[in-house]
Every structure is written in structure tokens, then in C-alpha cells.
Structure 1
Amino acid sequence: MRVDVWSDVVCPWCYVGLANLGEALDRFDHEDDVDVVLHSYQLDPGAPRRDDQPLEQRLAEKYGASVGQIRAQQARIVSLGAERGIDFRFDQAIGGNTFDAHRLLHLARARGVQLELKHALGKAYFTDGEPIGEVDTLRRAALSVGLDADEVEAVLTGEAFADDVRSDIAAAQQIGVSGVPFFVVDGRLGVSGAQPPETLLDILDQGWQTQVQAPVPVVAGGGADADACGPDGCEI
């Protein structure tokens, strides 16, 4: 059974959501028969390669909130992240365009280390304060999960997988994804947001018990609305 996940590298709820999926899979009886495929989604496709403006200041300006309000919202996700072993350090985050990161994730998919690279990129941005749009950051993350240096360099200096990234984004629009993370189980059951592990486990069980041979349109799956990052970004 396949689980497709749309997410962005700079989306904190995506990071939490993937951790929740990992916990759900650990409790799923058929974990070894599940293929998790990550798909590209950009919260800010027009972002520069590097944005040195403090994240809390950028969010405060974007949402018309005070820096204090943003910090309070960030504290909530820091707490949730800690429960999942994620060390969110928003005060150190250096923003940037994620298009090249997504291209590398497609290479990683082809080499069987996509989830590993996703986690490495998340740690680089959210914990280590590395500029997520810069080549050096992307190269270090890619090499740390065992990708071939020559292949990585070819991607970073060329246009490989650019069409794949665009196709993922177009597919998200086609099925009505308005916030990430967005999970699709067995091509049929869709659920948005950083759903808790229990909800994701229920969707996995439902998908397994009702598998079909031919793809059908995605429909909203169980679970209440959960935190997500939308087209305007993440108000955290």
C-alpha cells in the first residue's frame, strides 16, 4: 500500500506530521508493506534563495500580529515537537526558496533515501539554523544520507527533477490540497494537517482493509481539522 504525502521543507507542521506518520507506521501491522512517497509543495515559491529577516518578525508583519503573539504560537509547536523528538529553534531559522531542496528529494526518492533526506533537511533548517535555500546546506544534507556526490552536484548545478517538482505542485492543485501536510492513503483516502498518530493509524487501517486495484478520486479521510501550513504560509 502506498502513502503519498505533500509537504514543504520549511513547514513545521509537516515536520510534526511526518513524525506522527512514523509513529503510526510503527504501530501498523503491515508497516513493511507500506511505501511512503513524499511530494513537493511550496508555501512561498517566490522566496529568495536566502532570507535573513528573523522568522518571527517576518511572520508578525505578514499576519499583522505582534512578535510576542508569534512567539507564543511558536512555543506551542516547540512543545509538540519536543514530544516527537524534534528540536525546533525558530529564532535561528534562515529562510529561503525550497525548490532546489525538493529537486534533491526527488533524487533521494530514486535512490531510496527520501525520508532520510527530508529529516536531514528539516534538522538543518529548524534546529541547526542553516540557510535552507543555499547550495552548501543542501549539499551537506544530501551527502549526510549517502547520496552520491557527483549526482548531488549535477542536480544542484542543473535543472534535473525541476519538472517533477512542478508536476507534484500541479497534482496538489488538481486534488484540492489547500494546506500541508496532506496525506493520501492508497490513492483514495485524503487527510490534511498534522493529524495525531491515532488518526493516521485509523486511516492506514481503513486503507489496508479496503484496498482497490485501480486508482479512484481522493476523498477527505477521517479525523478532525488539524494544524497545517496553507498557501499563505504558517502562522506560527
Structure 2
Amino acid sequence: MPAVSGRRRLRIEVWSDIVCPWCYLGKRRLDKALDRFGHAEDVEVVWRSFQLDPTHRDGLREPVYETLARKTGGSPAQLRAMTGQLVALGAEEGLAYDFDRAVSVNTFDAHRLGHLARRHSLGAQMHERLMRAHLVEGELVDDVETLVRLGTDVGVPADKVRQVLAGDAFAADVREDIREAQALGVTGVPFFVLNRAYGVSGAQPVNDLLSALRTADAASSPAAR
């Protein structure tokens, strides 16, 4: 959609992993900030790939609590308290996190699917669907048949999904997103970059994201130049 006369488009790039509960919170809060922004029709949101654990072995499917215990050394009680806080935060944003069902997998193929969906102008919808599948529904987001179904859920043709997953299409795109994140100094996600001029790290409150939107918009407006 073209920008309104006299206004420039605002581009928001979001580095995010589909298994990241903070990223899902960040997406919900960004959606709310855009609703209040007043010029959402002039905003382009691009979802960029990031892997919280690129070393996770392909084919390894491990309950999230086992993964957390292995990585943090926390006790079951400590891990339950940590995820309980996330469940409460998610509920405030309308997200029903279910860590008892969530399974840790390598997300590289899911990110390749995200790039395919972007080619069909469905990048945001695909990212949302993948996050819900992992964090709410306990789906295996490294399974080919699951990814085909999730892709078709948002409108990506099943044959295109199968074709991509059968080869290495979009692998270079995923790696380039990750390389760009490293170049920008991104160490955690979500990470929001507005017009390649302003960076916002973490799932910030709606008001903070709205303030960043307004600052970036004002700086890119004709009056500011």
C-alpha cells in the first residue's frame, strides 16, 4: 500500500525466533502500539530470522523443561517459577502459553518457511502461526508435515512448502538475517530496528514501542529534513 501523500513509509524490522516467548510478547505489544500509532497504513513490518540456539541438533526433539534444565542447571521448582512468570505475562497479552507441551527443536526450517511466506506477502501471518504452534499448541515445528499444514493455514500453497523443505531454498536468506543481526550487535530477541536508525531491544511495554514509532516517524517526515 503506498504511503499517504507527504508521508514516508516507516519500516520496522524485527529479529525474532519462533520458539521465543518474549518474541511473541513483543509481537503482541507491537501490534497494540501500531493500533495506537495512527499511521499504521504507512508502516511495513519485516520479520527477520534469528536462532536462540543454532547449535540445537537437527532432529532432536526435547521437552522444553528438559532443555531449560540442561542449559540453566535450574531446579524443577525454579524452572516452573520462571515459566510461570512468562505464562502470566502472556495471559496479559491474550497468549495461552503451554510450556508443558512445548518441544524444543531446531528452528532453521521453520525460518525458511517464514521467508517463503514473505514471498507470498504472508510473512507476519506465518511468524504468528509458527509461534502459536510452538508456544501454545505444542506442535513440532521441525516436522515437514506440520510445517506444510501450518503454511497452508495462512495461505502458503502446500506444494510450495514441500518444494522448499525438500531442498535448501531460503537457507541463504536465513543465514543473511542472522549475519545482519550480528553486524547490528543483536545478542537477544526480539530486537526492533526502525528505518535502520533506531533500535529497541526486548519485549518493551506498548507505550515505549509507541514512543519509538513516533520518534522514528518524526525523524523521517518531510518536515524533519
The CA deviation at 1:54 is 2.5
What amino acid is aligned across from residue 177 of structure 2 in structure 1? D
Percentage identity across paired residues of the two chains: 48
- Counterpart of 2:101 in structure 1 is 92
14, 22, 27: which one aligns with 2:36: 27
**Counterpart-to-counterpart distance in 2, 1:151 and 1:61:** 37
Contact 1:124 1:137 in 2 (8 A): no
User: Among residues 102, 112, 117, which one is paired with 1:108 in the alignment?
Assistant: 117
In structure 2, relative to structure 1, the CA distance for the partners of 1:99 and 1:212 (3 Å cut) is: farther
- 1:189 corresponds, among 189, 198, 207, to 198
Contact 1:57 1:67 (C-alpha < 8 Å) held by counterparts:
no
**Once the two structures are superposed, what CA deviation does each residue of 1:70-92 show, in whole Å capped at 9, x if it has no partner?**
10010111011111111100010
Match in the other structure for 1:216: none
Q: Secondary structure at the match of 2:100?
A: helix
Residues 153-192 of structure 1: matches in 2 within 5 Å?
Answer: 153-192=162-201
CA RMSD for the aligned pairs?
1.3
Q: 1:52 to 1:158 in 2, by over 3 A?
A: closer
Partner residue, 1:65: 74
Offset of 1:212 from its aligned partner? Answer: 7.3
1: CA distance, partners of 2:50 / 2:105: 14
Q: Which residue of 1 aligns with 2:4?
A: none
Aligned twin of 2:150: 141
Query: Would you say the 8 A contact 2:97–2:135 is kept in 1?
Result: yes
Structure 2 contact 23–189 (Cα < 8 Å) conserved: yes
Q: Which has the higher helix share?
A: 2
| Residues 111-167 of structure 1 deviation map (CA, whole Å, 9 limit, x = unaligned) | 111111111111111111111211122111101001112211111111111100000
* Deviations, residues 45-83 of structure 1 (Å, cap 9, x unaligned): 121344443212321221121011010010111011111
Give distance in 1, aligned partners of 2:55 and 2:71: 15
CA contact (8 A) 1:124 1:130 kept: yes
**Cα distance in 2, alignment partners of residues 135 and 26 from structure 1:** 35
Q: Which residue of 2 aligns with 1:120?
A: 129
The alignment's TM-score, normalised by the length of structure 1, stands at 0.87
Task: Name the residue aligned to 2:22.
Answer: 13
Aligned to 1:78: 87
Is 2:17–2:189's contact at 8 Å kept on the other side of the alignment? yes
Counterpart residue type for residue 156 of structure 1: L
Give the count of matched residue pairs.
213
- Matched with 1:206 is 215
Q: Distance in 2 between matches of 1:189 and 1:91?
A: 37
Alpha-carbon offset, residue 181 of structure 1: 0.3
Contact 1:50 1:94 in 2 (8 A): no
Q: What amino acid maps onto 1:111 in structure 2?
A: H
SS in 2 for 1:198: helix
Residue in 2 that maps onto 1:150: 159
Structure 1 range deviating more: 136-145 or 45-54? 45-54
